[in-house]
Structure 1
């Protein structure tokens, strides 16, 4: 067997075929990835198609996957993103896996974010009580006025866990927090079902996507970068780059931007973005990235490509539909110079997509 490294001068087929292990019918299911077998196959795949190590890339292409986790992407899990079709995240991830495999030789690194929570956080039911001591139902929006009136109050038991027993401090903070969300024009404070629980099955990457990431890592000798977000109990963290609120009532720091990740993403020659949900974590992550770009060099927006067919908005039939908000956000990104593309289109057909020299 020829174990020599691929020759960098040999053209790589584009797009590549799909490997035989990929089963599009199982993208919406939970199963164990056979790492050792996939590693052997990935190395053979690289030899067969003469795929060079990522370190040899003259054009560095990053693929940012936002919260492609079971909790959002598997039907029946806590916050499954069904989108308009009802199977949005499953359909998105099927196309995403195919995109990764077909463009394996041109993706330098995959960066995946992981929404990460524990029980006692500001957006979980246990954090809040009404006058009768009952917790809010998931999808309840809590306004600053409702906190002032006492309609919703901090569960006193939270203080021992989060503010060393200082309930008054915690009460002052939550009012400040809700006010900051409203002043900043962000989504109101929403009580979500317990989801993406650290250590739980919902927190894990979708197996089909995890397998594709692993296959890419071995075939291209490229370590994926996994970024945890959302573990701070006192703030939401829709964006992978920054929490919703950074400071407390006295200007004291609550959390900070992920400066390291921002810098890393902007170092790529092209950055491709996909994930869930289009209306929430994808929209806010891209919005924060655009803010950073506009502060540095607005022309950098042109190197960001949004995979429109690999992301879906939050739609709960009869309750909420964030499709319009998602479309408005993506229209704003495009107006700033970012590119709206589809995974089924060849990379070289995308506007101004950089080619190797």
Structure 2
């Protein structure tokens, strides 16, 4: 990549508001974006000869704001907030070089396999979120069972089929060497405030869209009630107990991403949805051409791992994953040092 002078940050941007929820004044920002493009001679993205995609994974309130359900604080305690401040500044400073921004959005409803309501024990209790891992042995021994009451909503009332799927699901996770099924708090709920992008990030994406005449490529993931979906590129389990497909990998997005000259990745959480997505992208790259890994850039200072003090710390696992990605040819960089 050729180093170029970076743009200034628009005066309206307030760093202190990155941790707040507010309404983006779209019409005002649209006017400012057009004026900004004219002032700084920013061309439409369609004229880019070096096409760059910024993939922003799950920069949603549910993960990025301290008062929400699954705030990714990292070891610092303010991880996602700090990450989004740097991410917004990166977007503004490189507005004229980023061709397309692709935000992913974790999207859930109440009755999904990783939410408490899906499971029940003999006492009629649901598993505690964020503190319960449901293993194959748990299901085989009946420690945790499918809640019969959810069958009507998820499987058309066929409880036996749902029960069979649940056993198959945890078996598949075990066979594939993946993490046991984690029961998460209700989060990224479709229609809720937690589902929305962080306001400051949304504002930066909108400003980019208008300034560069470039439609943001929103990708929705996680709505299938029968599987987890950490990675935006594929769900955790693709088939049911009879071998019938229940989900597919996101082949269209994979092709789009690998069609760019460079793909820059940021978002939350480094240890989960970010790592899973990069891992799936690397799998596709290795199957096509290992040299493609060189076009991927990971903004390490714009992502944080899941850390719950005194409970769990995924920092080392996340760092190990990024080291593996770097060894495969991907570029692990700081947002302030990447020269586009």
Same fold (TM > 0.5): yes
- Secondary structure of 1:214's aligned partner: helix
- Secondary structure of 2:270's aligned partner: coil
Q: Is the 8 A contact 1:64 1:111 kept in 2?
A: yes
Alignment pair present for 1:273 and 2:265: yes
Name the residue aligned to 2:15.
24
What TM-score do you get using the length of structure 1 for normalisation? 0.93
More off after superposition, 12-21 vs 184-193:
12-21
Alignment pair present for 1:283 and 2:275: yes
| Deviation at residue 62 of structure 1 after TM alignment | 0.4
Distance 1:74 1:204 in 2: 11
Q: Is the 8 A contact 1:181 1:188 kept in 2?
A: yes
Alignment pair present for 1:88 and 2:96: no
Alignment pair present for 1:228 and 2:220: yes
Name the residue aligned to 2:337.
345
The list of structure 1 runs, each at least 4 consecutive aligned residues, that deviate by more than 3 angstroms after superposition, is none
| Deviation at residue 297 of structure 1 after TM alignment | 0.6
Distance 2:113 2:72 in 1: 22
What TM-score do you get using the length of structure 2 for normalisation? 0.98
Distance 2:188 2:16 in 1: 24
Provide Cα deviations, 1:163-188, integer angstroms capped at 9, x if missing partner.
Answer: 12111111111111011111112121
Alignment pair present for 1:215 and 2:207: yes
Name the residue aligned to 1:104.
95
- Secondary structure of 1:78's aligned partner: coil
- Secondary structure of 1:133's aligned partner: coil
Task: Give runs of aligned pairs for residues 191-340 of structure 1, distance below 5 A.
Answer: 191-340=183-332
Provide Cα deviations, 1:221-254, integer angstroms capped at 9, x if missing partner.
Answer: 0000101000000000000000000011111101
Counterpart among 167, 174, 188 of residue 175 in structure 1 = 167
Distance 1:336 1:128 in 2: 39
Q: Is the 8 A contact 2:4 2:339 kept in 1?
A: no
Counterpart among 11, 25, 29 of residue 38 in structure 1 = 29
Number of equivalences: 338
Provide Cα deviations, 1:16-74, integer angstroms capped at 9, x if missing partner.
Answer: 11100100011010011000000000000000000100000010000000000000001
Name the residue aligned to 2:60.
69
- Secondary structure of 2:105's aligned partner: strand
Name the residue aligned to 1:190.
182
RMSD of the alignment, in Å?
1.2
| Deviation at residue 162 of structure 1 after TM alignment | 1.3
Distance 1:164 1:69 in 2: 31
Alignment pair present for 1:15 and 2:2: no
Distance 1:277 1:225 in 2: 20
- Secondary structure of 2:218's aligned partner: strand
| Deviation at residue 346 of structure 1 after TM alignment | 4.1
| Deviation at residue 13 of structure 1 after TM alignment | 6.6
- Secondary structure of 1:347's aligned partner: coil
Structure 1 unaligned segments of length 5 or more: list them. Answer: 1-11, 349-357
Distance 2:159 2:67 in 1: 36
